[in-house]
Each structure stands twice: as structure tokens, then as C-alpha cells.
């Protein structure tokens, strides 16, 4: 029966979401099976995944999907029962089948899809030696003839429903009824955990069941009874070795087994008697759009709260100040909480590329292993969503241009199995996503030659390594001799840079000829709100990310004069270079007698940013500057202050990089001017 207020369409949509997750996990399990074909756990998980898709699909009216999955499930039932071996052919067939499953889940069918599905099933049938049942919708609900061992044995079963199982619409009594159909069942309900009426959550199951089942069914068949509540309950199924008797006419008493373990001398009773049911951590699935809307509202609240704080500061009213402070604290907590909701681990995105690497390796006859590191690193949901395309292009490039063919690798003394590493790690307010391969590296000479051919640079142009790599990001640039299905059209790196820059990130390349290439995507942790330090320079307001700021010290005119124009300052004996924002941005007006140096740190390096005045901390809702300003990289966005004015949010790291770059280009082509340009001054200091 359907809970009130939930429509069939909503159920179907929920099924689609869950089925897509199951397919993604199936894909990973299949790819792992390729390297560990004897892993019974993996086989069982593939079977369970297929069984769930089939069963749930049939329940929600996806009859074609259920019928199509049935034969695949049968194949893996044969595998888990030892009648069929895991081969590359079976894995590849199932992977191809999963592509069709995705289409069927989404109700998106392509021309010739039915023929293609029938072909897959025919091949599966050849492998299993069974009749294909696709197209026969009745088959969806059928039990396979397998799943029963010839010997009858006793099983000790403990079933602990999780806190969310009933709310999820599952009735444990119906599951126990289904279990009873497998054989002779003796059952005991453990009710010790049922609390007092006042404390009882009416929609939670506090009862735990211990049962002894006399049956010819296999462990997998018993577990299959609970397959739809996997994750919503704890289930233990253990054979009762001591009591096994194919001729036994009655099951052992559950109580006798559990209360008197000595008699049965079966150690498995001990864990069964221990402890109360463990509470599963409840989770809630929320539509991404709702979460985005929530975070937007929190952003608006942060802006209004800033305005309130400013108003309170302007009125000498203790009550108003107190309320303002309370709202500030609450807003801060709400903001942090909402940001946490948006953070998701990147592992899911990384894992998706296992299939791509597997398929490309087959296609190109290369042996490539994908290694994943730092999958637990969390990033803002919106950042992760936009990483798919760049990562796909980078991996395709590595596979096609980076990883050498087997002969070349052998000649270079490299292992036949090439490696692509996808990794993620935090670095200050950024996350570094790295795609690294142990291939042939980038041929700088070939890049230069191609750039000259395309008229991008002059024949005699002197380019640094970084400038040469930068050519790879030009639209349509490729050094590939021929265009393949995989890459070579020169659109990949362009897309990578464009997507990463739209996330306020950067792309860096490092490569060693013959050893490999590393592409680093530097991305902001979050796209929405940051803690900042509000500063003022020549009447203009700027925000510096607080995560970069270490301390603030004073800078007098005398100290500036003493440094002889070098823009260096001594901080407790350490000489630090600084950038005067007033000079760098060419802001007019006389500087105050005493300026402030914000000491900031980035990746272990410390430097100073000189401002007129530090106004204090602020929570900043980042607003994009739009496409027109996308090349102004030292500014990561803008924010609306409490008084309604706009402040630019600076990116200290990019500020220093830009300054250094300006100095380098001037020192190559032009004499360095110490008088006018701020960038020159600060870069001199940086180099000094």
C-alpha cells in the first residue's frame, strides 16, 4: 500500500535514483572482479545488485528492465553457486548490459537498442547454457531454480531492523513470513529494547528476531529474503554446524540455542546474545535544487545580518547590540551548517572513471590501472558537478597521448601496466585535484613546432616551460598526428581550462619527458560563502579570505623609507616581501601615516599585503563578477556589504602570481620601472 501523499511518479523517480546508484556500484564491482575473479563477496554483491534492480523494477512497473536484468542475475547466480566462472567476457557483457539498464531506467531508448539487448542476452545465454527469458515479463518475479543446496541444514538467523526500516514502508512480519516459506522456522522475538510508552518512537521497530531455520536453501537464498532492506537492517545468517542433520524432522528450539550455548557448543551464539541492536545512522535524500535554494537563502540572510550589525554599531543601543550579536552568532552557525550540507566526497566522481579507463584500455590495447587517492576529500556539490568534463578530457588525453604502447614502455624499461592516478587533497582554502600518468610526458619541442605552424608564436620566440604548456589550452590546439575517437581534436584542454576557470580555479601542468605528466586543478573549497577580512584601501573596500590571513602588523612611513623601495619588512627577524595594494591597483590619494600589513600564507610561503585599514571579520556571500571579468584572476568575486556597497574579494595567491608574472615579462622585454607600476615593485620584492 502506498503511503498517503506519495504518487506513483514519485515512487518511480525514487526507484530511478536508487537504481542509478546501484548500477554505478555494480560497475565498480564488475571492474574489480576483472582483477579478482575469485572474490565471492564481489560476486554476491553483483548478484544482489542485479536482483534488486530486477525486483524493484518489476514492483514499480519497469517490466522490460526487470525482464532484461533477469538473465544477467541468473548468470551471476550460476557464478556464486560455482557453476560458472567469472571471465573477461562475462564482465564485459555485463558492463555493456549495464549501459542498457541505464537507458531502461531513464526510459530513454535508442534505435536498435532492443536488437542490441537481445544480442547481449544471447551471449549471456551461451555462457550460462540457459534459455533467455528477456521479453517474458512474467519471468521478472520468478525465483531461479538454483539457490537450494541438496542438503537440508539448520541456519541460525538474527534479524535486527534498523530505525528507519518501518518508516521506509517495510513490515518485518512480512519478511519473516517469506522466510518461513523456505523451510521449518522456529522464531523468538527479543523485546528487551522496547522502551516505556512515553519514550517509544511509534514508527520504530525495537524488536529483534532470532530464528532457527531448517531448510535446503543456501545462505544467499536466505539473505535474498531481506535484499530490499539491505542497509536498513542488520542480518546474521550462520549455519548451525553442530545440529546439521539432513534427516532432522524438527528444528532446534531458538531459546535452547541462545540461552544454553554450552549444549550446542556453537561459538556463533555468543555474538548473537551480545548487545542491543545498533542504531543505523538515519539519512535523508533531499532534492539538490532544494538544497541550493536553502543555501541561497542563507546567503541572503548573511548579507542582511551584516547590514544589521552595521546599523547596531551606529546606534548606541545595548538591546539592539545584543540582539545583533545573537543574530550574528546564529547566522554564523547556520552558514557553517549549510556549507557542510553542500560538501560531498569526491570519491563517487573519481570512481566513475574506472569504467572509462577500462573501456579505453580495451579499445587501445593498453594495460592501464586507475589509482584513486584522497577520495574522501570533500568539495562543494556545485564544484564536483562541474568536474566531470575536465577530468574526462584529462584521462582521455593521458590514455591516448600520455600512456605509451606496450613496446615503447618495454623499451623504456617501464612496467607493462601503466598507471593513471586521480587524487584529491586540501591545500589551504583550495582543493587540489591531480591527474597524473606515468606515460611519455609532453614533448615541448612538438608543442612549440605546432604553435609555430599554427601561427600562434614566432619561429624564434623564447618561451618558458609554463608558457609552452599554456599553448595546450588554446582552442583547437593539438599535437596529435591523427585524430582518434578518443582525442586529438584539440578541444580537450580548452574545455578543461574553461570549466576550471568558471569554478574560480586554475590548471597547472608539470611534465617530465619519458616519465609522465601531472595536471593539477586548483579549486576553491566552496562557491558560496567564505569568512573574510574586510579591509580598506584609498576609500575602497576589499575582502581577503580569512583562511589565508595569519596576523596584522603596522607599517610606518619610516619603515617604507628604510627598505629603500624594496618592499620588504622584517617580522620578528624574518624578512617578508609585501605588495602595497594602493600602488598595485593605482589607487589615488595619500596613504595614512601608519598602514597595515596583512601577513598571509599560501602553501608554506608568507608575504604581506599592505592596506590602509583593517575593518574586521565578515562573512561574505560570493557573487560572480560575470564573464566580462573572468580574466581578472586576482579578484575571485564581489560581495555586497552591510551598507549596500560592493567590495571586491581578492585572491591573495593569484595576486602574488600575477605580480610575479608581470615582473618576469617586463624583465625579459623591458627595463624594470621602479617608479610607477605596483606589480613591478612587489615582484621585485618577491624575487628579492
Interface residues with other proteins (CB under 8 A) are 1, 3-4, 166-167, 169, 171-173, 176-177, 180, 187-189, 191, 194-198, 200, 202-207, 209, 211
Is-contact 369 418, C-beta < 8 A? Answer: yes
CB of 2 to other proteins, least distance (A): 10
Residue with the three cell numbers 550589525 = 309
CB of 243 to other proteins, least distance (A): 19
Q: Which is nearer to other proteins, 88 or 178 (CB)?
A: 178
CB of 203 to other proteins, least distance (A): 5
CB of 367 to other proteins, least distance (A): 53
Q: Which is nearer to other proteins, 8 or 337 (CB)?
A: 8
CB of 158 to other proteins, least distance (A): 12
* Residue of 391, 388, 385, 356 lying closest to 370 (CA atoms): 356
Q: Which is nearer to other proteins, 68 or 226 (CB)?
A: 226
Q: Helix (H, G, I), strand (E, B), or coil: what is residue 373?
A: strand
Q: Which is nearer to other proteins, 172 or 277 (CB)?
A: 172
The neighbour count for residue 375, using CB atoms within 10 Å, is 15
Q: Which is nearer to other proteins, 188 or 566 (CB)?
A: 188
CB of 157 to other proteins, least distance (A): 12
CB of 171 to other proteins, least distance (A): 5
CB of 207 to other proteins, least distance (A): 6
CB of 187 to other proteins, least distance (A): 4
Q: Which is nearer to other proteins, 175 or 384 (CB)?
A: 175
Q: Which is nearer to other proteins, 16 or 188 (CB)?
A: 188
CB of 237 to other proteins, least distance (A): 17
CB of 277 to other proteins, least distance (A): 13
Pairing mode, if any, of strands 549-556 and 594-602?
antiparallel
**CA atoms of 225 and 176, how far apart (whole Å):** 9
* Residue of 639, 640, 660, 642 lying closest to 650 (CA atoms): 639
Is-contact 291 341, C-beta < 8 A? Answer: yes
Burial of residue 315 (CB within 10 Å: 0-12, 13-18, 19+) is exposed
CB of 61 to other proteins, least distance (A): 23
Ranges assigned E (strand) in 364-467: 368-373, 378-380, 418-427, 430-437
Q: Which is nearer to other proteins, 185 or 217 (CB)?
A: 185
Give the burial string for 28-39 (b: 16+ CB within 10 Å, else e): bbbbbbbeebee
Q: Which is nearer to other proteins, 174 or 588 (CB)?
A: 174
* DSSP at 285: -
Ranges assigned E (strand) in 71-230: 148-161, 184-190, 208-217
* Residue of 453, 477, 451, 473 lying closest to 462 (CA atoms): 451
Is-contact 361 342, C-beta < 8 A? Answer: no
Sheet with 529-537, side-by-side order of all strands: 613-621, 529-537, 540-545, 646-650, 635-640
**CA atoms of 134 and 121, how far apart (whole Å):** 8
The neighbour count for residue 124, using CB atoms within 10 Å, is 21
* Residue of 218, 120, 226 lying closest to 165 (CA atoms): 226
Question: Could you tell me the CA-to-CA distances from 504 to 205, 288, 616, 621, 649 in Å, in that order?
Answer: 48, 22, 25, 15, 12
**CA atoms of 154 and 245, how far apart (whole Å):** 8
Burial of residue 216 (CB within 10 Å: 0-12, 13-18, 19+) is middle
CB of 318 to other proteins, least distance (A): 45
Question: Could you tell me the CA-to-CA distances from 152 to 105, 149, 155, 242 in Å, in that order?
Answer: 39, 7, 10, 13
Q: Which is nearer to other proteins, 189 or 615 (CB)?
A: 189
Amino acid at each position: 500500500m502506498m503511503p498517503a501523499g506519495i504518487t506513483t511518479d514519485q515512487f518511480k523517480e525514487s526507484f530511478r535514483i536508487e537504481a542509478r546508484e546501484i548500477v554505478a556500484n555494480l560497475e565498480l564491482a564488475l571492474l574489480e572482479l576483472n582483477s579478482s575473479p575469485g572474490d565471492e563477496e564481489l560476486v554476491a554483491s553483483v548478484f544482489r545488485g542485479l536482483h534488486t534492480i530486477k525486483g524493484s523494477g518489476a514492483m514499480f512497473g519497469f517490466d522490460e528492465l526487470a525482464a532484461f536484468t533477469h538473465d544477467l542475475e541468473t548468470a551471476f547466480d550460476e557464478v556464486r553457486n560455482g557453476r560458472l566462472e567469472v571471465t573477461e567476457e562475462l564482465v564485459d557483457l555485463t558492463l555493456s548490459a549495464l549501459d542498457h539498464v541505464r537507458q531502461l531506467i531513464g526510459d530513454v531508448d535508442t534505435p536498435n537498442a532492443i536488437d542490441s539487448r537481445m544480442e547481449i542476452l544471447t551471449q549471456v545465454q551461451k555462457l550460462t547454457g540457459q534459455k533467455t527469458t528477456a521479453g517474458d515479463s512474467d519471468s521478472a518475479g520468478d525465483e531461479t531454480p538454483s539457490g537450494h543446496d541438496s542438503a537440508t541444514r539448520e541456519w541460525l538467523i538474527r534479524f535486527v531492523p534498523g530505525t528507519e526500516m518501518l518508516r521506509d514502508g517495510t513490515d518485518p512480519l512480512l519478511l519473516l513470513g517469506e522466510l518461513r516459506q523456505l523451510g521449518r522456522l522456529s522464531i523468538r522475538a527479543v523485546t528487551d529494547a522496547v522502551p516505556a510508552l512515553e519514550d517509544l518512537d511509534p514508527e520504530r521497530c525495537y524488536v529483534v528476531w532470532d530464528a532457527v531455520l531448517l531448510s535446503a536453501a543456501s545462505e544467499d537464498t536466505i539473505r535474498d529474503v531481506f535484499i530490499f532492506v539491505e542497509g536498513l537492517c542488520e542480518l546474521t545468517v550462520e549455519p548451525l554446524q553442530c545440529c546439521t542433520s539432513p534427516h532432522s524432522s524438527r528444528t532446534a528450539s531458538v531459546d535452547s540455542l541462545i540461552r544454553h550455548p554450552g549444549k550446542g557448543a556453537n561459538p556463533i551464539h555468543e555474538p548473537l546474545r551480545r548487545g542491543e541492536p545498533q542504531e543505523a545512522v538515519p539519512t535523508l535524500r533531499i532534492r539538490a535544487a532544494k538544497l541550493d535554494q536553502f543555501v541561497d537563502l542563507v546567503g541572503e540572510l548573511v548579507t542582511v545580518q551584516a547590514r544589521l550589525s552595521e546599523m547596531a554599531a551606529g546606534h548606541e543601543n545595548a538591546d539592539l547590540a545584543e540582539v545583533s550579536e545573537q543574530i550574528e552568532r546564529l547566522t554564523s552557525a547556520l552558514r557553517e551548517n549549510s556549507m557542510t550540507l553542500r560538501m560531498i566526497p569526491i570519491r563517487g566522481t573519481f570512481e566513475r572513471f574506472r569504467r572509462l579507463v577500462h573501456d579505453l584500455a580495451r579499445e587501445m590495447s593498453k594495460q592501464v590501472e586507475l589509482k584513486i587517492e584522497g577520495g574522501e576529500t570533500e568539495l562543494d556539490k556545485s564544484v564536483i558537478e562541474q568536474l566531470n568534463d575536465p577530468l574526462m578530457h584529462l584521462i582521455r588525453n593521458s590514455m591516448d597521448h600520455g600512456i605509451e604502447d606496450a613496446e615503447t614502455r618495454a623499451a623504456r624499461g617501464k612496467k607493462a601496466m601503466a598507471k593513471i592516478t586521480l587524487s584529491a587533497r586540501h591545500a589551504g582554502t583550495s582543493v587540489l585535484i591531480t591527474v597524473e600518468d606515468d606515460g611519455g610526458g609532453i614533448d615541448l619541442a612538438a608543442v612549440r613546432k605546432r604553435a609555430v605552424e599554427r601561427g600562434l608564436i614566432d619561429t624564434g620566440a623564447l618561451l618558458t616551460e609554463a608558457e609552452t604548456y599554456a599553448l595546450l589550452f588554446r582552442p583547437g590546439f593539438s599535437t596529435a598526428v591523427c585524430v582518434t575517437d578518443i582525442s586529438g581534436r584539440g578541444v580537450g584542454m580548452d574545455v578543461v581550462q574553461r570549466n576550471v576557470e568558471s569554478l574560480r580555479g586554475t590548471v597547472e601542468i608539470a611534465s617530465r619527458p619519458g616519465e609522465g605528466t601531472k595536471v593539477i586543478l586548483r579549486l576553491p573549497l566552496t562557491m558560496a560563502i567564505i569568512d573574510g577580512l574586510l579591509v580598506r584601501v584609498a576609500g575602497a573596500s576589499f575582502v581577503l579570505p580569512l583562511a589565508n590571513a595569519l596576523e596584522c602588523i603596522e607599517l610606518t612611513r619610516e619603515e617604507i623609507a628604510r627598505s629603500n623601495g624594496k618592499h620588504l619588512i622584517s617580522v620578528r627577524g624574518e624578512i617578508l616581501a609585501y605588495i602595497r595594494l594602493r600602488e598595485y591597483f593605482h589607487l589615488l590619494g595619500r596613504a595614512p601615516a601608519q598602514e597595515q600589513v596583512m601577513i598571509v600564507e599560501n602553501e608554506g610561503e608568507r608575504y604581506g599585503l599592505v592596506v590602509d585599514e583593517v575593518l574586521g571579520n565578515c562573512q561574505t556571500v560570493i557573487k560572480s563578477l560575470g564573464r566580462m571579468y573572468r580574466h581578472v584572476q586576482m579578484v575571485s568575486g564581489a560581495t555586497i556589504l552591510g551598507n549596500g556597497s560592493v567590495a571586491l574579494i581578492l585572491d591573495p595567491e593569484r595576486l602574488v602570481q600575477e605580480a610575479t608574472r608581470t615582473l618576469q615579462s617586463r624583465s625579459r622585454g623591458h627595463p624594470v620601472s621602479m617608479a610607477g607600476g605596483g606589480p613591478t615593485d612587489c615582484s621585485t620584492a618577491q624575487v628579492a
